[in-house]
Structure 1
Amino acid sequence: MIKWLAAVLGYMYFRFPGAILGFIVGSLLDNYIRTSGGLFKSMAGGQKQTVSPGDFELNLLSLSSIVIKADGNVSQQELDYVRAYFIQAYGKERANATFRTFNEVVKNRQVSAYNISRYLAARTKYPTRLQIIHFLFGIAQADGHVSEAEANVIREIAGHLQIGARDFESIKAMFFKSTTSAYTILEIEKSATDAEVKKAYRTMAKKYHPDKLGDMDEAYKKGAEEKFRKVQDAYEQIQKERGL
């Protein structure tokens, strides 16, 4: 409704160029109000709303662009990683359509990590959001190194997605090797007892099991499998270190 009113007002003052501009601005306002209203209802009513596949893809691509630009260096390897993922997940034709829409509508605008993340947080399950963070770290590492700036941006996005701090550190540790990374992946301290290690492994294996993403695309399931393997690798490393 607002877009047509804005178009009429634009025409009154600036003729046809004003009508076109008014329609565009009004469409953005319509979309913002619709999105904000939906978010408010889902939070107030206690019911999680869904996100359409097209909206999910565009929002995921927008978050990807934020991570790619985080360190001021747009890496071709990172761009290729995103393209390969989208083609694998959605097919070449659909992926290319998403890229075209992104380039035409989103690319040259200020993209808000907060708005996008809060939108997705209200409309996706927690395992899906964990996989988004894993995917974003995968992008950052595509050029061989996750920079501090990229890690900080992903941390910020994780906060907006309502990802727990320990879950974030667990996924981050999959990309940053250290003497304690295996323990961090399992969300325990190095001082944990053998019994606590085994319990943590069972908990994390259940949390990161690919079946948690049964309704997602194949590429997402493969990403979940990779995350699940990291948990297994961490447990096996600790077993080896302790002689279990």
Structure 2
Amino acid sequence: MFAYTNVTIIVIYANYIVINSYNIVQPLDYQGEKFKNFISKLKNNHNKYGFDKKPTNEDIAQRLGVSPMQLNRYYKSNSLQRETVVKIIGAFNVSEEYIWGTNNNEPNGKPVSFSNYEPNMWIVPIKAQGGFLGGYGDQIYLESFLKKVAFPFIKGECFAFEIEGESMLTDFVPRNYFIGSTIEDKNFLVKGRPYVFQTIDGIIIKCFDYFDDEFMYLYSLNQEFNPVVPIPLKNIKKIYQKEGYLEL
């Protein structure tokens, strides 16, 4: 299970990691040490959990329906089994996040250290796309207005574009992000695949159909937004192929 507190989930190569304000974290891992810390707090506030007096480990074990020896194994476990987690939260009427979070207000996200990686992904939110169009290639603009983070799943520089509109539903949802790397030659485009097109008029995400000597022909996944007006090739500044997708 993951801790969901206004976070973004990145789905890359079938792996799941979590981003919270662009600080990357991993899924919940149910450490016995955190359960033991919870029990220590419980003993000091036993009335809240239905104990008339400060409970012993035997009392805790009885509540869980296990032996004191098994309870001690829980304390020492690096990763408690799912059925054990369900048993614990049911016995004490608390959430998983409450026990296995770094504190009672935070999800149990274990920070991933990317200290050995250079920042390589520019985050381009909707509010910054207008300036990105005019300032593309201008390093001063990028460094002044866009956040750059380390994203080692992709080699080289890449960009995360915030999605708006409903033309690419249901695959691409507003407020999520399309992660892309640049394509140097339009001949590398593959029919039916989605791309971000940076034009003189704006940034759009569409599926590629074909191109001729003058125009690029695209289409939307949401049929209500078809047909798409062809884009003059001369108006296209950059094309980004999909490397990943960030889901809110």
Common fold: TM-score over 0.5: no
Instruction: Name the TM-score class by shorter chain.
Output: under 0.3
Higher strand share: 2
Higher helix share: 1
TM-score, normalised by the number of residues in structure 1: 0.22
Flag the structure with larger Rg: 2
TM-score, normalised by the number of residues in structure 2: 0.22
